[in-house]
């Protein structure tokens, strides 16, 4: 990897993208739908330097309807393919992404702004979930249940659900889609993906990779589908009774809108929404270990992860020491801000100018509430970074009850909070509307166990002596409260993509009723 600020045309060509032309914004599988001159388009600008990467045609309502119809036809075929054979297709998809890992990681970095190592890591998540799904394809287990009636057998069986609509966010332009799409695929479902309008080229690249695999296996073109558009397209998907499950990742505001629309038609939804994640730092913490996790959690991906560390809850006995160490570290960070394609960079840009304004507005607001800006927050400029959206990570002393602290800000702002007692630490930790990821650094076994107990962290993810950011594929990912309650990826998250059926078989010559009811005729 060289110290580049632009993406190689060869990398785009390897992913099937020709950015000299307007790219199609709707796919029904092997063929992209034609573009009419009347189509609206989305411009994809890189946050690295503001350059136009390419333009993508928005999916029209008529095209969307064609996509759904093709998905319905593909589902009729795909649901009858034995699950292990579906797993074999997903295995081939994983291998295809292995082949394209470098180029796709580069595109993720350039279109979204995360550093190249994180771009590679995101593609590795696709590969990992494919591996997980392949094994899962032979483990879609049901139950055998004892019946109270003689000569009867009860069992549970899991069936494919249907069409899964996936609405994903810009910050993980390919990984979160894959968590849904690969599990849905081995479960026998088909997917329709609406990526963020800020990162459409990453989605198009994924579609090209997958369609090559489907073509080689003579499979229906509508198993994996792509649409491109803005909020209106997500609303269309949410209201569509043909979509059996809507999986949406994004802000709490967006999630509430999706949930309301889908619930009004009694549909199923899976939500992965905002986080306001905290690390509790106790007197027994290994501060050297904790510092590394805190900084990565707070400034990694320029603070644009749903699991980013937003709040640091520090015991009063070590507060000044920790603040001093963080200030020293933060003061060294501007030297590592730059193009995410540069191998020396640790912090890339925010996604766009609106994100920069949002960060600065939040910092003004928290200071008006009485918070103290210790460092950072300004726009970062340097030769070669013109046109990009770079900021210096901010360190702020604040109180948990401040409005600014209670809301998630998708930017590198870390709030320092002080506590005296264990009870106060847990109250501070849980005293926000969100409940995604959490962590504690301690050498005290009792504190660790208390943090993981029912009276400890109220989040969907709780860690001891590791940070809030960086979940593994094998565990179910998701959170509570305003985070939405959804679970994706590992464990038994696959059940969200299937329908459960309780089956009873009578192999006797009598017809006894449950609960001993007699009904003789």
- Which residues are catalytically annotated? 272, 306
Query: 468: buried, middle or exposed (CB in 10 Å: 19+, 13-18, 0-12)?
Result: buried
Continuous H helices in 199-318: 200-216, 231-239, 252-264, 287-299
How far apart are alpha carbons 399 and 167 in whole angstroms? Answer: 34
DSSP string, 452-519: HSTTS--SSEEEESS-SS---TTSEE--EETT-S--EESTTGGGGGEEEEEEEEE-SSS-PPGGG---
Output the CA angle 104-105-109, nearest 5 degrees. 115
406: helix, strand or coil: helix
**Contact criterion met (CB below 8 Å) for 48 and 388:** yes
Contacts of residue 215, defined as CB under 8 A and 6 or more positions apart, other chains included, come to 30
- Rounded to 10 degrees, the C-alpha dihedral 226/229/231/236 comes to -60
Pick the closest to residue 474 from 90, 133, 180, 184 (CA basis).
133
DSSP state of 89: H
Pick the closest to residue 265 from 248, 234, 247, 243 (CA basis).
243
Pick the closest to residue 352 from 219, 199, 213 (CA basis).
199
How far apart are alpha carbons 311 and 372 in whole angstroms? Answer: 14
Continuous H helices in 79-218: 83-99, 101-112, 116-136, 175-186, 200-216
In 398-434, which positions are buried (b, 16+ CB within 10 angstroms) versus exposed (e)?
bebebebbebbbbbbbbbbbbbeebebbbebbbbbeb
Pick the closest to residue 75 from 219, 246, 234, 238 (CA basis).
219
Instruction: Tell me the C-alpha to C-alpha distance, in Å, between residue 460 and each of 13, 125, 340, 440, 454.
Output: 40, 20, 30, 14, 12
């Amino acid at each position: 990897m060289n110290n580049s600020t632009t993406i190689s045309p060869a990398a785009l060509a390897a992913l099937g993208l020709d950015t000299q032309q307007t790219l199609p914004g709707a796919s029904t599988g092997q063929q992209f739908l034609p573009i009419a001159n009347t189509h609206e388009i989305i411009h994809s600008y890189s946050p690295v330097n503001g350059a136009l990467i390419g333009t993508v045609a928005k999916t029209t309502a008529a095209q969307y309807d064609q996509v759904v119809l093709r998905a319905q036809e593909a589902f009729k075929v795909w649901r009858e393919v034995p699950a292990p054979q579906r797993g074999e297709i997903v295995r081939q998809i994983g291998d295809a992404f292995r082949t394209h890992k470098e180029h796709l990681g580069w595109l993720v970095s350039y279109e979204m702004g995360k550093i190249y190592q994180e771009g590679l890591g995101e593609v590795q998540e696709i590969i990992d979930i494919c591996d997980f799904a392949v094994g899962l394809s032979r483990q879609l287990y049901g139950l055998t249940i004892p019946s109270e009636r003689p000569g009867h057998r009860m069992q549970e069986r899991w069936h494919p659900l249907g069409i899964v609509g996936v609405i994903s966010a810009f910050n993980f332009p390919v990984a979160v889609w894959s968590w849904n799409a690969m599990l849905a695929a081995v479960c026998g479902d088909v997917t329709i993906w609406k990526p963020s309008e800020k990162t459409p080229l990453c989605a198009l690249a994924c579609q090209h990779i997958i369609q090559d695999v489907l073509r080689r296996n003579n499979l229906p073109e509508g198993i994996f589908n792509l649409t491109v558009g803005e909020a209106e397209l997500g609303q269309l998907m949410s209201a569509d009774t043909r979509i059996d499950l809507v999986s949406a990742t994004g802000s709490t505001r967006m999630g509430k809108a999706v949930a309301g629309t889908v619930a009004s038609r009694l549909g199923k939804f899976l939500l992965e929404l905002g986080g306001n994640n905290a690390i509790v730092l106790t007197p027994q913490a290994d501060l050297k270990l904790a510092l590394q996790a805190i900084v990565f959690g707070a400034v990694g991906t320029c603070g644009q992860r749903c699991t980013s560390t937003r709040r640091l809850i520090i015991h009063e006995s070590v507060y000044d020491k920790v603040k001093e160490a963080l200030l020293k570290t933060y003061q060294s960070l501007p030297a590592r801000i730059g193009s995410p394609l540069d191998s020396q960079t640790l912090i890339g840009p925010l996604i766009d100018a609106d994100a920069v304004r949002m960060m600065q507005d939040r910092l003004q607001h928290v200071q008006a509430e009485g918070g103290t800006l210790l460092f950072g927050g300004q726009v970062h400029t340097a030769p070669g970074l013109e046109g990009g959206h770079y900021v210096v990570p901010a360190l702020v002393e604040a109180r948990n009850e401040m409005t600014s602290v209670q809301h998630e800000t998708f930017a590198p702002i870390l709030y320092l909070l002080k506590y005296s007692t264990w009870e106060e630490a847990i109250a501070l930790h849980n005293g926000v509307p969100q409940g995604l990821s959490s962590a504690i650094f301690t050498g005290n076994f009792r504190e660790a166990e208390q943090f993981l107990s029912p009276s400890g962290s109220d989040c969907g993810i709780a860690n001891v002596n590791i940070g809030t950011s960086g979940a593994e594929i094998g565990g179910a990912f998701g959170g509570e409260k305003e985070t939405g309650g959804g679970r994706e990826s590992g464990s038994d998250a696959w059940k969200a993509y299937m329908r459960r059926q309780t089956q009873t078989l009578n192999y006797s010559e009598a017809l006894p009723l449950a609960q001993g009811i007699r009904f003789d005729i």
